[in-house]
């Protein structure tokens, strides 16, 4: 019977390590591609029955705010402020959900700190 020249796995782990490195490199490439896609992916949030609409990228950058002229009441600026705040919060929430969903597809659900 031949003796095992590499006890405890020895060089037997090298193919697995190479495979892990290749998988990590592919994941890194996929993440970079996803980040580019998130730059142009937009989400919209509309509140107040269509009175205020906010558009944001999936990377949580607000790109536009649309206000229906009907809701501009000089006597009630506070309502307009509340609508804008609500729409911005909803747009950012949607952006976070899209980003997390797309990232989960790449990472297999692993939470990798610092990616987003």
- pTM for the model: 0.67
Closest by CA to 46, choosing from 72, 64, 73, is 64
Reported as a single tens digit per residue, the pLDDT across 64-96 is 999 999 989 889 999 999 999 999 999 999 999
Top CATH class, 42-109: alpha beta
Q: For residue 3, give both structure tokens.
A: 């003796």
Terminal-to-terminal C-alpha distance of the chain: 54
The torsion angles phi and psi of 46, rounded to 5 degrees, stand at: -120, 135
Question: pLDDT (tens digit, 9 = 90+) per residue, 40-67?
Answer: 899 999 999 999 999 999 889 999 999 9
Least confident of 29-33, 66-70, 92-96, 104-108: 104-108
């Amino acid at each position: 019977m031949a003796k095992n020249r590499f006890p405890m796995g020895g060089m037997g782990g090298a193919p697995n390590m190479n495979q892990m490195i290749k998988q990590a490199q592919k994941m890194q490439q996929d993440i970079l591609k996803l980040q580019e896609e998130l730059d142009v992916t937009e989400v919209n949030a509309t509140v107040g029955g269509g009175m205020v609409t906010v558009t944001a990228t999936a990377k949580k950058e607000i790109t536009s705010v649309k206000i229906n002229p009907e809701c501009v009441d000089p006597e009630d600026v506070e309502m307009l402020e509340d609508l804008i705040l609500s729409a911005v919060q909803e747009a950012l929430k949607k952006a976070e959900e899209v980003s997390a969903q797309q990232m989960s597809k790449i990472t297999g659900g692993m939470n990798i700190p610092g990616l987003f």
